[in-house]
Chains A and B, each alone.
Chain A
Amino acid sequence: MQRHLISAADLTRDDAVLILDTAEEMARVADRPIKKLPTLRGRTVVNLFFEDSTRTRISFEAAEKRLSADVINFSAKGSSVSKGESLKDTAQTLEAMGVDAVVIRHGASGAPYRLANSGWIDAAVINAGDGTHQHPTQALLDAFTMRRRLVGRDAGLGQDLAGKRITIVGDILHGRVARSNVDLLHTLGAEVTLVAPPTLVPVGVETWPCEVSYDLDSTLAKSDAVMMLRVQRERMNAAFFPTEREYSRRYGLDGDRMAKMPEHAIVMHPGPMVRGMEITAEVADSDRCTAIEQVANGVSIRMAVLYLLLGGNEPAVTHPRTEEK
């Protein structure tokens, strides 16, 4: 693994499987009376959030605290950032306070990459979502959820998602979740199909390692997992689709459509869900919907990433040195 986690595309298959396997062990900590490990004692992690995202921030914070890291939360709102301080100055100020890692959420695509590669700071950088670019821990927790449900909790250890057919539905254009998932799922051997109205698919998608379809119904029967992405109502005003009703009629997942999926297939959603838009309440509340599991899995995945990036004197090596076995 590299020193930073910026993009799901940077992970090799073995890196990704190591993270998923590690997360599987981390998940067991949640079942203990004391949900805490001493692993990152004395390490300081700052959650540098330039965009509001309570869910992601809390998930990272829970992961950091379970590993005993010291946690600093920094929200751009009401801070010097709103007074015009730059990302560089903010990051350098925080590093001067002795930060070992920066978990960054930023509205600008590439901001974490810049932070990691421009020589501004030495700390490890973990991307918690940048603009419409990447959200690698989301992709990892999604893959973790799929592996548990489709391969098995123990049977999945050491395994990837070879041959699994994953359909991702919704706003691909503005979505970092879709980009990250396509990259990671492809690395893990899954076959990905993106489904969206053509207006919400980026120009240039043809080079992505996936299929693109404009027709949801034709993909459902051959999907092991269907991931519904949030579609913001505001997109309607920019003419990406005519009405909310037309969108949900063509691309929303309701009970009838779910019935077309194979028995074992699951419904995923990264949240927050817009019920009645991309997903009906009936589907969202069904046993096949993994939205809540994904939240729990998010903490385990983030613990795994933090441990593998910060737990030692250098990032984890993909192949553990044999002489230490």
Chain B
Amino acid sequence: MDRQQDTQASDARPVLEGPDIARVLTRIAHEIVERAKGADDVVLLGIPTRGVFLAQRLAAKLEEITDRKIPVGSLDITMYRDDLRMHPPRALARTEIPGDGIDGRLVVLVDDVLFSGRTIRAALDALNDIGRPRAVQLAVLVDRGHRELPIRADYVGKNLPTSLRETVKVQLAEEDGRDTVLLGAKQTQ
């Protein structure tokens, strides 16, 4: 998710297509099962907007693998952002914590793009107000680098070296009508 960018990709080229996305999600699902020793206490929380769809897709894959119901929800971080004062207030997205809560569980945060790390910092703050997980992990579809905080992902779909003059745009069928990850040049305004 490219929240810092106000510009849209122009002449963007796809770096991941639909089948690639499906493949990396399957891989991440397997990694979660492996690292979480069967994933019996995993709760997936997607960060709106596209992180939520990715979390739902991951949950479906995990259910296939483990044959168990995987709790999945969403975590809106808007009101925990550190740049609130730099923009007009944004419309809030839904925070939906699965019924059994997150206390003592392994929460896997799911987002589309990992960039500065500020979104994840806000998400950790938000989690803190909701409960006390056993551990928190992070899964992202794309890690484009340029971290501004000491944060790293536990599961990465694709490491994508980028320059700050580029934008990464994730499109998902649920929101955008198709699955793709686009890399393009930042439009000068």
Whether B88 pairs with A323 at a CB distance below 8 angstroms is no
By a CB distance below 8 angstroms, the chain A residues around B7 are 323
Whether A323 pairs with B6 at a CB distance below 8 angstroms is yes
Whether A316 pairs with B89 at a CB distance below 8 angstroms is yes
For the complex, would chain A's binding face be called helix, strand, loop or mixed by DSSP majority?
loop
By a CB distance below 8 angstroms, the chain B residues around A316 are 88-91
By a CB distance below 8 angstroms, the chain A residues around B8 are 323
Among A25, A33, A321, the residue within 8 A (CB) of B130 is A33
| Nearest A-chain residue to B82, judged by Cβ | A38
Whether B3 pairs with A25 at a CB distance below 8 angstroms is no
| Assembled-state Cα–Cα distance A18/B90 (Å) | 10
Whether B95 pairs with A308 at a CB distance below 8 angstroms is no
By a CB distance below 8 angstroms, the chain B residues around A308 are 89
Whether B80 pairs with A37 at a CB distance below 8 angstroms is yes
Check if B164 is an interface residue, CB within 8 A of chain A.
no
Check if A36 is an interface residue, CB within 8 A of chain B.
yes
By a CB distance below 8 angstroms, the chain A residues around B89 are 307-309, 311-312, 315-316
Return the CB mask of A8-26 against B: 1 if under 8 Å, else 0.
0000000000100110011
Whether B130 pairs with A34 at a CB distance below 8 angstroms is yes
Whether A25 pairs with B87 at a CB distance below 8 angstroms is no
Whether A311 pairs with B79 at a CB distance below 8 angstroms is yes
A interface residues, how many (CB within 8 angstroms): 29
Check if A264 is an interface residue, CB within 8 A of chain B.
no
Whether A312 pairs with B85 at a CB distance below 8 angstroms is yes
**Known contacts being A25-B76, A32-B130, A39-B79, is A324 close to B92, with CB within 8 Å?**
no
Whether B129 pairs with A37 at a CB distance below 8 angstroms is yes
Check if B125 is an interface residue, CB within 8 A of chain A.
yes
Q: Which of A286-304 contact B (CB under 8 A)?
A: none
Whether A38 pairs with B79 at a CB distance below 8 angstroms is yes
Check if B162 is an interface residue, CB within 8 A of chain A.
no
Check if B137 is an interface residue, CB within 8 A of chain A.
no
Whether A25 pairs with B88 at a CB distance below 8 angstroms is no
Return the CB mask of B1-44 against A: 1 if under 8 Å, else 0.
00101111000000000000000000000000000000000000
By a CB distance below 8 angstroms, the chain B residues around A34 are 128-130
By a CB distance below 8 angstroms, the chain A residues around B128 are 34
Whether B87 pairs with A312 at a CB distance below 8 angstroms is yes
Q: Which of B63-86 contact A (CB under 8 A)?
A: 76, 79-80, 84-86
Check if A84 is an interface residue, CB within 8 A of chain B.
no
Whether A22 pairs with B130 at a CB distance below 8 angstroms is no
Among A22, A314, A315, A321, the residue within 8 A (CB) of B92 is A22
Beyond A33-B130, A311-B84, A313-B87, 12 additional contacts (C-beta under 8 Å) are A21-B92, A25-B94, A25-B95, A28-B95, A32-B130, A307-B89, A308-B89, A312-B89, A320-B90, A323-B7, A324-B6, A325-B49
Spell out A's residues near B (CB within 8 Å): 18, 21-22, 25-26, 28, 32-34, 36-39, 67, 307-309, 311-317, 320-321, 323-325
